[in-house]
Every structure is written in structure tokens, then in C-alpha cells.
Structure 1
Amino acid sequence: MSEDTGQGRGTTRRDYLRYGSVVATGGLLAGCAGQSEGNTTPTEETTEQTDTETEETETETSTPEASYSVELSPVGEVTLDEPPTNVFTHFPWFPDMASALGQGDTINNLWWDGTVAGLEYFTAGFDEFEIEWADKAGEYGFAKEQLYELDSDLHLVDPAWVTSQDNWTRSDIDEIANNVGPWLGNYYSSYRASPPEEWAEGYEYYSLWELFDRVATLYGERERYEALTSVHDDLLGTIEDGLPPESERPTVAYISISTDLSAIYLLRLNAPGYWNSHTRPLGAVNAFGDAQISGPFKQVDMEALLEADPDVILALWTVTETFDFGALKQNLEDDPVGSELAAVQNNRVYPQGTRWQGPLMNLFQLEMTAKELYPEQFGAWPEYTDGDLYPEFAADEQLFDHQRVEEIINGDI
């Protein structure tokens, strides 16, 4: 797949949901309505009735029952007879997708309320945008009983990841799919990790926008998806056209760091996977070169950071009210090792949102990071102060049309 340049009861609880198979939707047989008997000439009234009934029958015949079907590894094919109205999610990129499609009110659960704060920050300039799942955040992980209670039409979670959690087996996955609703998700595309062994054979990888494609189809929101994809494609084109030669690009340390500098975690910058869908297209130079990261991140210390001595530091998860970005910068300036960093001396320590992005955050984070890394090409990123909202760039300073995105979300396509 491409990257951004991306067991149980005998019958299901819902007759309109099918998991792992296609619902056959044939046309209705049309009868011969309004035929006259013998040589009797029909009256004007019966002729009008006949025409009406024939028109209705033809309409029914030519318009088969709708079906919403997608294929996604590792679940295979998932088909719904109608768009879902009650949807379970766990990781943040799916609620973002639902909101982008104007379907945020369908989300009944997610983990990590930091997603709400992040999306609030990036969409601050939208006048009519509401995060309808803002009060749905819960605990990390979930139990089978919880899924029965929520009674969801669709579970936007990778079942392969679910079976890596305590008290979940493959048979539990099948039970929920049969008795409640199907699964759809692909977690291990996030950083191209290996899935659990029992799921490994045939496991495929997708970009963020390929995953969004499947979700949009099940929601019956192809128009919104295609409109947003057009914006995304144009943004990638703008970035590609504006990038300086590789020899002129900055070295970058992409990290998660605590305010007091006691914990520093190195993150991938240009690796495949949708966690990097806002940094990879920018093609900056990884200050840590080919440093191997076996999991989602790798812990390093200040000395290792100084040895790499990046031109730019991107600090993840710092545009929320719970993080004191000003204190972080001050602590770096006061630290005997941190103060020697070129990025600190040149005031090129920048805030970031989250890797756990859906399409909305991805658009804004592409713009944000482009301005942080390449101010001469894309316009400078303004100084960030705790509690600031996403900057209100003038139309000619925006790398994508913000208003157009809000219009698409609101259905003006």
C-alpha cells in the first residue's frame, strides 16, 4: 500500500450488519401493473393510476438497496446495509475521521482526552465546528462487557491489536463481531510494526488517508472524503514544490520531552506509517541519522541530544493546556547541556500536536510543521505561548484553505 507522499449466537443481533461477507442486493421483480382486461379501453383515471404505479415500480426496480462495503486488513470485508449511528473507537484518529465526515455525534467512546484538546487547538478558527465526542473519553483498554453495553454498530479498532491486550482472545473478537457489530481497524500501520503472530500472515499496511477512505465509505460520506482528499493532495503538492534542496534542509530531533527534562524519548521522523504522515512529506534530515528504534520510541538523554545537536527540535504533545511549553524552553536554556544545543541557542524549539492524528489534525500539522522547518519557503511559525490557539494566518499565508475544510465538514461540498 502507498504512503502519504501515505463466536456466539446463531444469528447476529442486527440483521442489517454483516461481518466478513457481502450482502447480495438484487433488484426487485417488477410486476405488470394496471393491465386492462380483454379489449376494454382504460379510463383516464385508470391510465393515470397505471402510469403512476409503473413509475414507482420502475423506480424500485432500478434502485437496489444500498450497501456499504469495504476491505481492510486484517478483518477482510465488512459490509453494512446502512451507515453506522453508534460507533466505538479507542485510538484518536478515528474520532477525528468521524468529525471530518460530519459524523462526530456517532462516536460513543475513545481513549485519551488529549485528543480533544489537540483538535480544539487546531480547529480554533472554525466558527461552526463542534467536537461532539468531547465527553466520551474513558480509560485505556476496554472489556467485552463494555462493548455489549455500548451496543455499537461498528467497532473502529484493529482486532489484531485487541488480542494483544489482557483477557482478549480471537474467539472473543468473533463473538463481538457476531453478536454486536463488526471490527474495522489497522493499528500496526501506525509505525509499520509487526502484528501478533496469529495475525501476521497477510497483514497489510495502509496510509492514514487510505484508512480514512474505508471509514468514509462505511459512513456513506464519499463526497466529503473526496473533497478533503483533494485539499490534502493540493497541500502535499504545495509542500513538495516549496521544499529546498536536501542539502539546505535542517537537521531535526523529533522528541517527546518532559517539562523538567527528566525524560526524553526519540521518535521517528521520516519512517513509514501514519504516525509520521505530518513529518515524512517534509523530508527534513533526522539529526539522529539511522538510529534504530525498536518500538514506538527510544529513550535518550541530554548528552545524546547534544551529540546529535539538531538545528530544530520538534517537541510532541506540547500544544495543550496541560503542558507548560514556556517552562520547557526556559529549562532547556538554563540546563548546562541543553543550553549548548543549536536549536535552543537559535530559538528553534517548536511545539507539536500528536502523532495520533486523523485527517483534520494531519492537515493542520502538515502546515504547522512546514512553517516550523522551512520559514523562508512557507512563512514563519509564530512564537507559541501556553494557551495560544492555532494562528489565524491570512489567506495568502495558509498552505491549504482552512475555510474550505470547514465548509466540507459542514456539508458544503
Structure 2
Amino acid sequence: MTVTADLNARTTELDQGHVFHSWSAQGGLALLPIAGGQGSRVWDHSGRSYLDFSSQLVNVNIGHQHPAVVAAIQEQAATLATIGPATANLTRGVAAQRIAARAPEGFNKVFFTNGGADAIENAIRMARLHTGRDKVVSTYRSYHGNTGGAIVATGDWRRIPNEYARAHVHVFGPYLYRSEFWATTPEQESERALQHLRRVIESEGPASVAAILLETIPGTAGVLMPPPGYLAGARALADEFGIMLILDEVMAGFGRTGEWLALDAFGVVPDLIAFAKGVNSGYVPVGGVIISDPIARTFDDRVFPGGLTYSGHPLAAASIVASMDAMESEGIVTHAKQVGADVIGPGLATLADKHPVVGEVRGTGVFWAIELVADPTTREPLSAALMGRAKGELVSRGVLPFIADNRIHVVPPCVVTEDEVAEAMVAYDEVLTLLDEEL
């Protein structure tokens, strides 16, 4: 056995022997060993390379091993590796300033967390304390994280074995391809989904509802692009009933949609914005809440009853500053928008026209989903077995996919090149051809 092959085997041995993995039955797991990465590619210890069209968990927006971000972390580690949150730290302050500058007008404060789930937890806490109300309304097709309240706010199957938090209510959000409202146009879907949201709020008692919590663009649930007027309508309902609107930008923010924040494309201003993932591409764990000025003022003379040991950790803060500065100076957000509009979108549309197994493609920037169906007429979702085969076939062709339910999510780093997209499209085409043949 060669040294490199031995390292692959040793990595697998240690992983299977000692690492307990999320969302998995542990027996028989055989995960891909990854040794390094650069840009949109990763490789194992033998040097076999893969195009990372998952961005890991849709978080490596700036790509793997961006030199400016790595250097900033190294420099901060040499200066001050850690400091508690009950101090003022220059790097933390600059990171907060950079983030607030990308938010809508009237957002000047940032509360840092360890990741996206606890960003949601603290956004909910702030909304409850600010309003004096308890209930949180979120959608069934959503994912907000794995901590106590965030997982119950989540709408998918992962909520069900974890329902320990109180006062969470769910509604159906818009999803025209599988409309719950018998809609035939985006406008109908938006109008009817908003009426459904209104009736649930009215039925729950508007004076009991603290927040409407929405992913600006639901990500894990299928890159569900909100139809015209939906987010604005949710904002209007929140205003009508004195409810706070929380937008979850954990997956969609910081370049993923070709905007700094996904909400920028919709002209909607929430009360609280949760972020994580793309703000520093996951190089150091971090997340946070961008707080509107009225909510921030609630805690000028009132103690905010929340905190984290690593809130505003200096290594995370340094990675945020370097990542946001590089994204601006290198035009990375603009590139994400362009490559989505000119390359990824048209490429996926071509695949949809060619392959009966493709029910719909949708997305923006570097945030897309291919929805696969066993029958294009009934729209029956493709089976888990065939989705598993699709995943294996893509990996064998050197593409790391993000697979969720009956969908292949096309979510490369924002720095992906046109040639890399073309390479991935060849792999998608070949695998979709195999699936067509199966059906």
C-alpha cells in the first residue's frame, strides 16, 4: 500500500472508529476522506480531485483555502488567539461594522454567535423579549438549525423527533411546482400563500405571535424562489399585527444568490437578520444576528439575557473581515450573479429540456436545484434509491454533489469558473441520462 493510500485508509479507520456523525445511522458509514482543497476543488490523500459543487454545506462561498482569509486567521492567531466577549476587541468591532454596512439602513448592531442555529435561537429570543409575545410562525419547508428552538422552527422531518421547544407554529410557504393552494401562476401562489399565513396568524391570535421566521430563499428545502410579492406581503402582515419579521440568511447570504444579502433582490427590510456560513465561508465557526435599531434600543437599559463564550471570537472576526474585503475587491459577489445568469442557469435549462427525469430547475447566483421526478406528469418524486445512485455516479465522475430528498442542489463556491461549470454539467448530463434509462 502506498503512503497516500495508507493515509486515506487511516483517515477512514479513525473516522469510523471514533467520530459520531450528524443526521446518520453510524453503522456502515464510509465517508470520503478529504485531505486538501483550493478554490472549487478538494482532493483526497492520493491526490484524486473532486469539483466541490456542494460547497460542503453550502457555506464555502469564497472557495477553499482563499489565501487572504487564511493569512488573516494566521496573523490574528499570532496577535491574540482568543479573548472573551466581555471585552472590546478591534477585530471584532471591524467585523461587526463590515456586516452592518451590508445590511439595510437602520441596522447598526451585530450579536455574534457560534453558527447559524444559535443565530436563529437568539433572533427568536430578541423578538420575544422585544414584543413580550411568545409564538413563532415558520414554514414546513424550511431548515433553521439543530439547537432546541431552531430545530422546532424547522419544518422538515428533523423537527419531529426533537419537538421540545414551546410556541412554534408552522404554515405552508409558496412552492408553485408542488402548490398546496391549487395555484397555477406565481402571482396566485403568492396571494394564496399570504392568505394562508394571515389566517394562521389570526387563528393563533395575533397578539400572541412574536415573529414570522422565513428563510429569504429556502435552501435545504429546495432553493424555493419566493414568488412576486410574497416577502413584501409577509412584511406587511408583520407590520399590521405588530409582529417581528426574522429573515434567515444563513445559507442564502453573503454572495450565494449573487447579492450580498439575498433580501437585497426583494426590497424587503426585516427586523432581524440571521447569518453564518458565507460570511467567512466556514473557515472558523461563526454566525450572528444583525439587529434593527428599534430592537437594539430595547436592550439599552435592559439586560439581554443571552451570551456565548466564543461570541465574536477574534479568529472568526479576522476571517470575516478578510473574507468580506476579498469578496468586494475581487468582485466575487458580482461574479456569482453573472455565472448564475449566464452559465449555470442556461446550462441547467438545457438539461431540463433534454431529460424527462428533470421536473424543474430553479435558482439564482450559485444557488440552484434540479428537482427529479419519476413521472413528469404526476411529478412523483424520484426514489431514495435512485437518488443514492445519482450521488454515487456523480462522485465517481469527480463531482461532490449536495443531495436533498429528490433534488440535486447545484451550489458551487461563488468563485467557480465557467470551465468548472461546464465540467460539472457534463457529469450531470451523464448521470441524468442513466436515470432516464432507469425510468
Mark yes or no: TM-score above 0.5: no
- The alignment's TM-score, normalised by the length of structure 1, stands at 0.31
* Structure ranking higher in strand proportion: 2
- The alignment's TM-score, normalised by the length of structure 2, stands at 0.30
